[in-house]
Amino acid sequence: TYARVLADLSGADIVITVDHKVVARTVPQEVTRDLVAAEIEPGETTQLNGEEYAVRTPLSSGPVRIYSLSSIDVAAREATGSAMKALGMVALGGFVLAAIGSLWLARTLTDPIKRVAGDIATMTASRDFGRTLDVDGTSRELDALATAFNELMGGLTVAEAETQSAYLGAIRALAAALDARDPYTAGHSERVSALSVLVARQLALSEAEVDIIRLGALLHDIGKIGVADHILRKPGALSADEFEQIRRHPGLGARILRKVPFLEPHLAIVELHHERPDGKGYPFGLLGDNIPLDARIVHVADAFDAMTSARAYRPARAASVALVELQRYSGTQFDPASVDALREALAQSTSAPERRLQALLGREASA
């Protein structure tokens, strides 16, 4: 009963496990069997009983886990079926009107039908489902069909936005869980994301580019989920082998995110945020402008937050000191334009960089 109530509230199927054993479910047994066997991370998509599912974990407490499952295949089939029905109605309406109408009526309706069909074809070809069909009053039937089609596409757009919001929520939770593995890095991903957005806006990038950088920066260290705790939390210097393990996290993070198609725009940040302009970075040793700008921005923000955050082996540096360090290695370790943009974003004649930084980060977090 609890699982059914959760399913009704969430609009998704529910599986409840205790010690990896299913105790309640609203999906077929074959799905739960594959789910338990897969041991997937929250927010991933995976094949369960031959269908693609988006899986979240609303609750994980001790041996108890509650999984929320949404079948992507079922949603796609329902959306496709509804769209095909709407298109069929448009075609049927045009056929009936053409068959029973007079020559004058046929001439009157030819242009509106062509317009509707052309708009639908253009919308389908460009996958621009945010557009709507015009309702111009030339035909009540066509206007009704256009209105129904617009309502359908509006519903699909809302559903897509809700799905993406759910994914983003899971990603933020995963980034927070990663930061929580080490008390000295708590909040690091959120701060790097906020700093990266400051730099991007200082460089006058578009809001679409800023959004890509915001989420990419939030995910930049996601590959460290595959690095052992004793390496991440080591208070002293890393051995050569341990440092090599750390160097693998950009590639591992990129492999993780490739499983989620809509995160593809952020892969460059995750995979390349440790590249350097002088070619001495990793994993590929890219030079200068061969490194994408968004990855260069996150590299600067990442280094700045690392310097201004306390670690087990050293205290936090002042923001002004960190800016001097960034400037010293501008052009070799760090992208000069990004360093200058960060300095300008934090510059304010009436307050110290530390207070300016705190105010800017607070405002960005609220946004």
* Three-state helix/strand/coil letters over 192-249: HHHHHHHHHHHCCCCHHHHHHHHHHHHCCCHHHHHCCHHHHCCCCCCCHHHHHHHHCH
**Active-site hit among 21, 85, 114, 224:** 224
Q: Is there a contact between 23 and 33 (Cβ–Cβ < 8 Å)? A: no
DSSP bridge pairs for 65: 17, 60
Q: Is 21 a catalytic residue?
A: no
CA distance 148 to 160: 18
What are the DSSP E strand ranges found in 62-108? Answer: 64-71
The C-alpha angle 306, 363, 254, rounded to 5 degrees, equals 45
Indicate left, alpha or beta for 6 from its phi (over 0: left) and psi (-120 to 50: alpha): alpha
What residue type is assigned to position 282 of the chain?
Answer: Y
**Cα Rg of the chain (Å, integer):** 26
Q: Which residues are catalytic?
A: 224
